[in-house]
Structure 1
């Protein structure tokens, strides 16, 4: 079993979702020090770019990030993205566990508009993510020009 049910994960998740908290991302990684379980390893306030900079090419990691973007001149939208990171140098057996492990992570980090599974940091470009969020976000009265 992983450490996903730890109070730290729940508190970080709540902080990312809280409109009044500056924390806008969290990162869950495998930690050898605690029996190779998934644990909260970091949180931050620098958005998806900062989260992407913390991803390790030798690991499977799970990021959860708050993305705010202009809907039109008068409003903004807030959406949440789950990033499933599979680094290119990740061990084969760790990669093999992603399909089942990511299901458990998705239950803990349940509220997200899109999930992005990747091993390429360029797929976590904020403009591209916002474009994907607009497609799944419902009515867009500004024709995508927000």
Structure 2
């Protein structure tokens, strides 16, 4: 496998999914020393806005993000998004590995409501992702407004 099942990635994934942990996201990228392997690159307690600065234009990266949003004044929803980042300066040979590699990643980071394919940080507007999560989540108490 690509290394997506490493203990560090599995532990971070469990932390993001846990209601008892402050971890809100994780980032998987090429292993710094092992060829064709993935590793945990970063994790954090902020939201999507904390993930975005970690995305690099010359890398393929996978972010798993916990997104919390309000349905109405009395309730909030928690959903998960998988971001498949292919930076604009990624070499063609590296791009070619993404399809099979992302299948491995999706087996490990398997519980998510939406997948967001992105190559520009503009593709990751939080309001747009929340709107997609609302649609994916069924009931929309805001009449489609973000």
- Structure 2 length normalisation: TM-score? 0.95
CA RMSD of aligned residues (A): 1.3
SS of alignment partner, residue 34 of structure 1? coil
User: Quick one: distance in 2 between partners of 1:55 and 1:97?
Assistant: 18
Is 2:81 the partner of 1:81?
A: yes
1:127 and 2:127 are equivalent in the alignment: yes
Q: Flag structure 2 segments of 5+ consecutive residues without an equivalent.
A: none
Does the CA-based 8 Å contact 1:59-1:90 persist in structure 2? yes
Name structure 1 gaps, 5 residues minimum.
none
Does the aligned pair in 2 maintain the 1:49–1:124 contact within 8 Å?
Answer: no
Number of the residue aligned with 1:97: 97
Deviation digits for residues 73-124 of structure 1 (CA, Å, limit 9, x no counterpart) = 1000000000000001111111011111111111110000000111011111
Question: What's the CA shift string for 1:50-73, capped at 9, x where partnerless?
Answer: 111100100000000000000111
For 1:141 and 1:67, locate their aligned partners in 2 and report how far apart those are by CA, in whole Å. 17
Judge conservation of contact 1:66–1:80 (CA < 8 Å) in 2: yes
What CA deviation, in whole Å up to 9, does each residue of 1:17-71 have, x standing for no partner? 0111110000000023123411111100111111111001000000000000001
Residue 145 (structure 1) shift: 4.7
Structure 2 equivalent of residue 37 of structure 1: 37
Query: How many equivalent residue pairs?
Result: 146
1:46 maps to what in 2?
46
**Aligned residue in 2 for 1:13:** 13
Specify the alignment match of 2:71 in structure 1: 71
In the superposition, the TM-score normalised over structure 1's length comes to: 0.95
Aligned equivalents of 2:27 and 2:4: distance in 1?
11
CA distance in 1, matches of 2:95, 2:57: 12
**Secondary structure, in 3 states, of the residue corresponding to 1:94?**
helix
Distance 1:86 1:16 in 2: 22
